[in-house]
Structure 1
Amino acid sequence: MVTERELICQLNYGTETVMADVVISQSDDCSVIATITPHQQISLISSNVDCFIESIPNGLSSLLLKKTPITISEQNIQLEAKLGLAELELQNLPQDREIVSVRMYLTNLFDPYYYKNNIKFDINIPGQPQVVLSAHTEGTISHIAEVSQIPYSDLEKIKKLVDSICWLCSFASGRLSAVARMEVLRNEELIYQELTSVDPTLNKGPKVIFDVDDLTQFIEHSYKYYQQIATTYNLKNLINLGLLAKHTPYTEVQTLLMCNFLEVLRYNYALKVGCPSGVFRHRQTQDDFYWDRNLSKSGKAFFEDILTHFVEANMLSGWSSDFKNIRNEIVHTGNITASDHREKIQKYQDLHHFCDRVILALLQWDLVSGHYIPRNSPTNPNPEVIVGVNRVLFTK
């Protein structure tokens, strides 16, 4: 299925401007493409010049494309261009106080949380509008998130709300979920649309959170804590590193990615938590940290020093000096010492399990007695249990 919209646009390249027929389309893989047919013959467009397209009001479409940068990928009679984001809107948008509904199309929530009989389920986050998720089959788009009856002025807040839900779902499901398309409706009239090129390929990772009920509880509980710590800990990047590790077949690369997770955690914790609280000092010309002079410890605070301080401050168990040794070895030699490949895999999985526990601890998942699936022991060891997943209680 392809979403298309026909437009008449102004094509700007370098100092040149021409009129063109444009078809904006979003394919099943969520790529956004513009097929451009200029109204007059043009010379080849150099890759060194900036290119833009922008709608001209006409009878073809009620929605007009805002000025959008493009990258020309093919040049024949027609031009084909790639777009990162296409924003289309009415000429006369509603007043801030007018009531609208928002529909967002999400990728990669397939099998882990595919709802029986397409039943919708509600996400009720304290202080936020209700978000209704329902299954939707359209290429890599698997679900629709709907928010109804909000002031138009709240649109940016809703976009941030659903983006945060996508990142929580990504961590929970092991699959990168994102908003590929957004529609804003006023009394069922489409007044605004965004088409976004997103990466649909990270779509087969093992889960951390087991089922729909756990996922709902996880989102509703964790959202507040996600907002509090996302910037401090660069949480999107931490989640993404875990997803990348789950989607590569090479144990050494998986291990290197999770060691990078620890480096990101170390740096951000020391810089944004430890330094302001007077535990560490930072020399801006270096990435090194030092114990504050007022503490009993002195000198440089090394990799393990900072991470063990993080673990103690967050009352988190599971840290092992083996992780420091694995980090040193993979960074310095590109290898992991082990008796066989199975032991290498186990070392990686133990490390990834700890990193998952870091995120769960930061999101305070233990406060509601939440369950999760250990990365290093995903299969239930009890043969009498019908469900093969090892769903265990998370404790710090």
Structure 2
Amino acid sequence: MNYGTETVMADVVISQSDDCSVIATITPHRQISLISSNVDCFLESIPNCLSSLLLKTTPVTISEQNNQLKAKLGVAELEVQKLPSDKDIVSVRMYLTNLCPYFSKPNIKKFDINITGQPRVVLSAHKEGATEVGISNIAEVSQIRYSDLENIKNFINSICWLCSFASGRLSAVARMEVLRNEELIYQELTSVDTTLNQGPQVIYDVDDLTQFIEHSYNYYQQIATTYNLNNLINLGILAKHTPYIEVKTLLMCNFLEVLRYNYALNVGCLSGVFRQIRDNNFEWLSGANRGKKASFNEILTRLCDSNSIISGEFSRDFTNIRNEIVHTGNITGSNSLEKIQKYQDLHHFCDRVILALLQWNLVSGHYIPRNCPNNPNPAVLGVNRVAFTNE
């Protein structure tokens, strides 16, 4: 353990709690003075120690100081002293959080994800997923070259973002294990947020989820950076988890702002439709409005109309809702139900934008409308699972 200019030998036990936070319990070999919160503190394994895996240099935050120290870690990377060559064949297990709703039936144990150009992923339920907190699933990828490990991490992280949108719950990789001939040669433990675990679903069941991931992955790769898609997904999940209707609405209006800005900057400006001006605004470069500022409503209407995304669906009502919540902190409505309906209509539109960008209409994929999640037919119980179109 290194802190300030001091180096101390210590026994260290690293564990991942049920909530997926990563904790180190440190027993120094000699008495040490209190560690100031202003001093940088690091842990690392020494070569030839008793553990088969060595901890790479890791910054820690000391949270308790008694005979033993407790420290919080953002990420802990452990690896064997002699790493494989790039050509060596390995298998990867990644432990995912918050996918419980898709494995609620006891007969569903695992399913395969097959995406052209990517290795097959086997996604299975995990025993730690018996509760709503912590790891719920394992994603396994077999027989890859060690040099492809970083690509596999990015691949599974992308699947997690698609699952997050589909489930309404924030899913992430909390733990990764790399095995060579069944020997554990690398382990990565990550502190991730597991509290966003109760949101309403957009995609209904395991079969729909499989189709959604397999169809949407390549489209996700094409647009994720252009539209800042991960942040858009995260805003929707946050909105689903706050109990306050004003905050829900404000978050989804922020969704529209992120969508407006990134579409105008990364699509409109590059195609010669807009030019960026001061204060992150844009003006028209062509047409009857050339030289004039492009309004919030105009940019989002252009997104919908000219790109055939939910053509004509962006409503001035959403602009009015955005103006109300931003300028007054409130939503007008004769009662609370009317305010809730306004929010749900707005969130439903935002979900449909993401589905349209992911080309979900090409396969008539099913989804659950946010503004009508229950089957409108009183004679039929269950969710309102409908085919998606962008018309």
* Structure 2 length-normalised TM: 0.96
- Partner letter of residue 39 of structure 2? V
1:211-239 deviation per Cα after TM superposition (whole angstroms, max 9, x unaligned)? 11110000000000000000111101000
Q: Distance in 2 between matches of 1:313 and 1:86?
A: 47
Report how far residue 384 of structure 1 moved: 3.2
Corresponding residue number in structure 1 for 2:288: 296
Corresponding residue number in structure 1 for 2:234: 240
Corresponding residue number in structure 1 for 2:202: 208
Corresponding residue number in structure 1 for 2:5: 15
Corresponding residue number in structure 1 for 2:51: 61
Corresponding residue number in structure 1 for 2:369: 374
- Partner letter of residue 314 of structure 1? N
Corresponding residue number in structure 2 for 1:4: none
1:37-60 deviation per Cα after TM superposition (whole angstroms, max 9, x unaligned)? 111222211111211110013443
1:1-396 to structure 2, matched below 5 A, reads 11-114=1-104, 116-138=106-128, 140-283=134-277, 285-292=278-285, 294-298=286-290, 299-315=292-308, 316-317=310-311, 318-386=313-381, 388-396=382-390
1:250-287 deviation per Cα after TM superposition (whole angstroms, max 9, x unaligned)? 0000000000000000000011111111011113x521
Contact preservation (8 Å) 2:63, 2:72? yes
Report how far residue 118 of structure 1 moved: 4.4
Q: Distance in 2 between matches of 1:116 and 1:133?
A: 15
- Partner letter of residue 294 of structure 2? A
Contact preservation (8 Å) 1:314, 1:361? no
Please list every run of 5 or more consecutive structure 1 residues that lacks an aligned counterpart in the other structure. Answer: 1-10
Deviates more, 1:309-318 or 1:173-182: 309-318
Q: Distance in 2 between matches of 1:319 and 1:58?
A: 63
Please list every run of 5 or more consecutive structure 2 residues that lacks an aligned counterpart in the other structure. Answer: none
1:318-354 deviation per Cα after TM superposition (whole angstroms, max 9, x unaligned)? 2111100000000011000000000000000000000
Q: Distance in 2 between matches of 1:150 and 1:265?
A: 37
Q: Distance in 2 between matches of 1:119 and 1:66?
A: 35
1:95-127 deviation per Cα after TM superposition (whole angstroms, max 9, x unaligned)? 111100000010000123435334221000111
Report how far residue 305 of structure 1 moved: 1.1
- Partner letter of residue 300 of structure 1? K
- Partner letter of residue 297 of structure 1? N
SS at structure 2 position matched to 1:231? coil
SS at structure 1 position matched to 2:92? strand
* Structure 1 length-normalised TM: 0.95
Q: Distance in 2 between matches of 1:147 and 1:12?
A: 36
Contact preservation (8 Å) 1:112, 1:207? no
Report how far residue 19 of structure 1 moved: 1.1
Deviates more, 1:57-66 or 1:218-227: 57-66
- Partner letter of residue 78 of structure 2? L
Q: Distance in 1 between matches of 2:103 and 2:368?
A: 15
Identity of aligned residues (%): 78
Contact preservation (8 Å) 2:45, 2:54? yes
1:271-306 deviation per Cα after TM superposition (whole angstroms, max 9, x unaligned)? 1111111011113x52111111x4321311111111
Q: Distance in 1 between matches of 2:117 and 2:197?
A: 31
SS at structure 1 position matched to 2:380? coil
Q: Distance in 2 between matches of 1:83 and 1:55?
A: 15
- Partner letter of residue 41 of structure 1? Q
SS at structure 1 position matched to 2:266? helix
CA separation of 1:324/1:239 partners in 2, compared to 1, >3 Å: closer, same or farther? same
Q: Distance in 2 between matches of 1:116 and 1:185?
A: 29
Q: Distance in 1 between matches of 2:351 and 2:36?
A: 46
Q: Distance in 2 between matches of 1:368 and 1:143?
A: 27
Q: Distance in 2 between matches of 1:259 and 1:286?
A: 18
SS at structure 2 position matched to 1:286? helix
